Structure 1
Amino acid sequence: MSLGHPDDVEAFRRLVLERSGLILSAEKDYLLKSRLEPIARAEGLADVAAMLRQVRLAPGARLAQRCIDGMATHESFFFRDATPFDQLRETILPQLLAARAQTKTLRIWSAACSSGQEPYSLAMLLMEERARFADWKIEILATDFSQPILERARTAAYSEFEVRRGLSDQRQARWLVRDGEMFRIAPEVRNMVQFRNHNLLDGMATLGRFDLILCRNVLIYFDPATKAKTLDGIAACLNSDASLILGSAETVVGLAGAFEPTPGLRGVFRVKEGQRAAA
């Protein structure tokens, strides 16, 4: 399967790695073809080969960024993998409730939030527990490097298939409003989430500090060096007693010396005691 001149293809692989951290080996050429062909058609170009040639000649142009965005995996659904949300409700949030009793503030970051289902799930969960947080100031920051997917997340509109993929009938009735063939997130939930364009590779110093960070199903696409750098940046963003939640197939073992698993919780990590003072 030819995608064009080898120099054009290799230049695109390097560009994607540099801009997004995603590794596109030759074994993933099928992915390049399937995701780039619709973009080539939409741009009125003859084929993927012609498009990759343009991208190599103008890597800073809009077309190049659109192709990079197209390679990202935007798989997401509401309350994806129930375990982290159960752990939030039963253990993590009660601990934060006690620890932040004086300030009554809570900052949560949903990193690589894709089309918004994760941060909106967090907002729903917090609304369902709002009796505990009645007079608290709660901020949910949701970020992604893809501007088009963020624009979609901001619309807070989802198809029936997307809604049924993770939301119970009770939650659908409580937190969604029918809008033609789509469903929209209720305003009180939508207003809890702030969306911001951010690339994990650009560092995190401008984001501030957080009490909870979810960075799920992202690190699996990075090489070890990029994983370690990303985890170091996340560690610097966490308050000393805060938690990081990773995806079910992800770990910090062998990657980040700042973290240790939280006993009894799956996929939840804390900054090590010796690192907290430095933080």
Structure 2
Amino acid sequence: MTDVEFDFLRAYLKTRSGLALSGEKRYLVESRLGPICRRFNLADLGALVTALKGGRDLAMERAVVEAMTTNETFFFRDRTPFDLFRDVLLPEAMARRAAQRRLRIWCAAASTGQEPYSLAMMLQDAAPRLSGWTVDIIGTDLSTEVLEKAKAGLYSHFEVQRGLPVQSLIKHFEQVGEQWRISASLRQMVDYRPLNLLQPFDSLGTFDIIYCRNVLIYFDAPTKGDVLARLSNSLAADGALLLGAAETVIGLTEKLVPNTKHRGLYNQAGAALAPQARPLPVLNPAAVAIAPAAAVAPAMRRVVGL
């Protein structure tokens, strides 16, 4: 791959996915796009660049972008954001939305679904407190391939071992051959949609809680600022945004500010937040009977139409 071809691919990927590749990432491009060349019967990366410049194969263009995006995720990843959801975000949001009895949660860059399904498990365990509520969980990702896996809810033994307590595995999954499928009631709680964060997403509506973790690290500063400003537009005035441990809004936007009590949590600038509500009880998963989908549906349902 020549320097000119590498520079083209860097610009191409930044325009379409926001991925900002440094000059030292040539090896990464070669290793990830080599299989794409073979898949589309192209001799080398030079031929791939020529084909991309022609712009006639949408499947190829999508494959190139998806091959370069990182889809690392696992259940209850980094744990703290989920403890924060259970102990602070959910009870406070319920207190603020007591009149409407509706909550909307968005997992941006949801990958293969472990993050939204982790939240869905916590919501299902809290179902008695949410009786009569409507809870929408929207999961989006650039890659249609990972979204199909998320919708299927089928995971390998390795994937369910990463971060998932054994009690949750027993309660919420069934074994299918050598894999594990998450329950139908949990799959029905999440609405997965393809979405590129570089493109407008205001059509999704407004959310009480947004998880957008470990994706901004791949963008340059101007792109980060743009995405954060538009996330602010999609966040309720008293809503909460969670970013990854290595991500921040400082120096990127003035529309969002760090929460002074909880690292990784951000609120709208000037937002007047309600006093801290009483935390939800920590349930012992082993002591909770598996609720059939019919019993869960009246308490919580996914609303597809926005």
TM class by smaller structure:
over 0.9
Q: Corresponding residue for 1:211?
A: 208
Structure 2 matches for 1:109-148, cutoff 5 A? 109-148=106-145
Aligned position for 1:229: 226
Confirm whether residue 269 of structure 1 aligns to residue 266 of structure 2.
yes
Which residue in 1 is equivalent to 2:26? 29
* Alignment partners' CA distance in 1, 2:156 and 2:87: 30
2:96 is matched with 99
Tell me the matched-pair count.
273
The alpha carbon displacement at 1:275 in A equals 10
Pairing partner for 1:84 from 68, 72, 81? 81
3-state SS, counterpart of residue 131 of structure 1:
helix
* Alignment partner, residue 287 of structure 2: none
1:17-56 alignment, distance < 5 Å: 17-56=14-53
The TM-score normalised by the length of structure 1 is: 0.94
Relative to structure 1, the CA distance from residue 274 to residue 77 in structure 2 (aligned partners, 3 Å threshold; closer, same or farther) is: closer
String of CA shifts for 1:119-150, please: whole Å, max 9, x gaps.
Answer: 11111111111121122100000001111121
Contact residue 22 and residue 221 of structure 1 kept, 8 A: yes
Further displaced range: 157-166 or 36-45: 36-45
Q: Contact 1:141/1:196 (CA < 8 Å) preserved in 2?
A: yes
Which of the residues 170, 193, 197 maps onto 1:173? 170
Alignment deviations for residues 84-140 of structure 1 (CA, whole Å, 9 cap, x no partner): 100111111110111111111000000011111111111111111112112210000
What is the rounded CA distance, in whole Å, between the counterparts of 1:211 and 1:113 in structure 2?
Answer: 17
Partners in 1 of 2:43 and 2:181 — Cα distance?
A: 37
Amino acid aligned to 1:259: L
2:187 is the alignment partner of 1:159: no
Greater relative contact order: 1 or 2 (C-alpha under 8 angstroms, separation 6 or more)? 2
What displacement does 1:260 show? 1.2
> Counterparts of 1:16 and 1:275 in 2: how far apart (Å)?
39
Superposed CA RMSD in Å reads: 1.6
Taking structure 1 as reference, are residues 59 and 81 closer, same or farther at Cα in structure 2, changes over 3 Å only? farther
Does residue 1:247 correspond to 2:268, yes or no?
A: no
Alpha carbons 1:217, 1:250 under 8 Å: kept: yes
CA drift at 1:60: 6.0
Identity of aligned residues (%): 42
Secondary structure of 2:137's aligned partner: strand
Q: Is the contact between residue 20 and residue 220 of structure 2 (CA under 8 Å) also seen in structure 1? A: yes
Q: Distance in 1 between matches of 2:96 and 2:218?
A: 34
The answer to whether the Cα contact below 8 Å between 1:114 and 1:149 also exists between their aligned partners in 2 is yes
Give TM-score scaled by structure 2 length. Answer: 0.86
Say which SS state the counterpart of residue 139 (structure 1) adopts: strand
List structure 1 runs of 4+ shifted beyond 3 angstroms: none
Query: Which residue number corresponds to residue 185 of structure 1?
Result: 182
Q: CA contact under 8 A between 2:238 and 2:271: conserved in structure 1?
A: no
Q: Is the 8 A contact 1:8 1:56 kept in 2?
A: no
- For the residue of structure 2 that corresponds to 1:132, the secondary structure is helix
Q: Deviations over 1:189-235 (max 9, x none)?
A: 11100001111111221110000000000111111100000010010
Which moved further from structure 2: 42-51 or 168-177?
A: 42-51
Provide the residue aligned with 1:58 in structure 2: 55
The alpha carbon displacement at 1:46 in A equals 2.4
- Return the alpha-carbon distance in structure 2 between the equivalents of residues 115 and 33 of structure 1: 24
Deviation at 1:8, TM superposition (A): 2.7
Provide closer, same or farther for how the CA distance between residues 200 and 148 of structure 1 changes in structure 2, counting only shifts above 3 A: same
d(CA) in 2 for partners of 1:59 and 1:119? 35
Structure 1 segments unaligned to the other structure (5+ residues)? none
